[in-house]
């Protein structure tokens, strides 16, 4: 599963939009792995505010200073995408105990599908432990201050998107 002995990890998610909590997890993961792929999941059951291309663009802009990271998108099973990219690990962020049950289920299913793929749970800085994309979108919709929740570029894109609604 390794390519050139590089330890590759995938951080999958909808990232609609990416938040400072996501970026904190990406920074932490980049310290542990040789390369981190931030992978936008194209889940047709969800109705994202931003298109797949917009999310990829916002993430790319937001993490350009973090070394050894790339941004991509995928459709289908995460384990298949991980195999295609020679990844050894999946990164998942845990904000609170409430995240754990769902994330544990997903990790166990992924392990059942591919025993070689490990899941690494990372906790964001405590200042982001309550933060998620839904809260950010709701705040933006109600003209709340989101300065400390998302990068400036994402804030601008989000405010522009909300004006069009």
Options 46, 47, 112, 165, the catalytic residue: 46
Domain-by-domain residue ranges, the chain? 8-164
pLDDT, position 3: 46
Q: What digits encode the pLDDT tens for the residues 58-82?
A: 999 999 999 999 999 999 999 999 9
Options 83, 95, 111, 161, the catalytic residue: 95
133 is annotated as an active-site residue: yes
92 is annotated as an active-site residue: no
Q: Which fold has domain 8-164?
A: Rossmann fold (3.40.50)
Sequence-distant (≥ 6) Cβ neighbours of residue 67 within 8 angstroms: 30
Options 27, 28, 30, 133, the catalytic residue: 133
pLDDT band at 150 (very low <50, low <70, confident <90, very high): very high
Structure tokens at 48: 């994202």
Sequence-distant (≥ 6) Cβ neighbours of residue 57 within 8 angstroms: none
pLDDT band at 165 (very low <50, low <70, confident <90, very high): low
Q: What digits encode the pLDDT tens for the residues 125-147?
A: 998 888 899 999 999 999 999 99
46 is annotated as an active-site residue: yes
Give the residue among 119, 151, 124, 132 at the shortest CA–CA distance from 10.
119
């Amino acid at each position: 599963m390794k390519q050139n002995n590089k330890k590759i990890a995938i951080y999958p998610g909808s990232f609609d939009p990416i938040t400072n909590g996501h970026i904190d997890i990406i920074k932490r993961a980049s310290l542990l792995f040789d390369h981190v792929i931030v992978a936008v999941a194209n889940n047709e059951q969800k109705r994202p505010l931003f298109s797949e291309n917009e999310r990829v663009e916002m993430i790319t802009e937001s993490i350009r200073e973090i070394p050894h990271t790339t941004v991509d998108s995928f459709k289908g099973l995460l384990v298949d995408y991980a195999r295609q990219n020679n990844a050894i690990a999946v990164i998942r962020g845990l904000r609170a105990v409430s995240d754990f049950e769902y994330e544990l289920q997903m990790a166990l299913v992924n392990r059942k599908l591919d025993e070689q793929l490990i899941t690494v749970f990372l906790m964001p800085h405590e200042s982001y432990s309550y933060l998620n994309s839904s809260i950010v979108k709701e705040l933006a919709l109600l003209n709340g201050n989101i300065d400390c929740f998302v990068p400036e570029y994402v804030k601008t894109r989000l405010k522009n998107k909300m004006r069009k609604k």
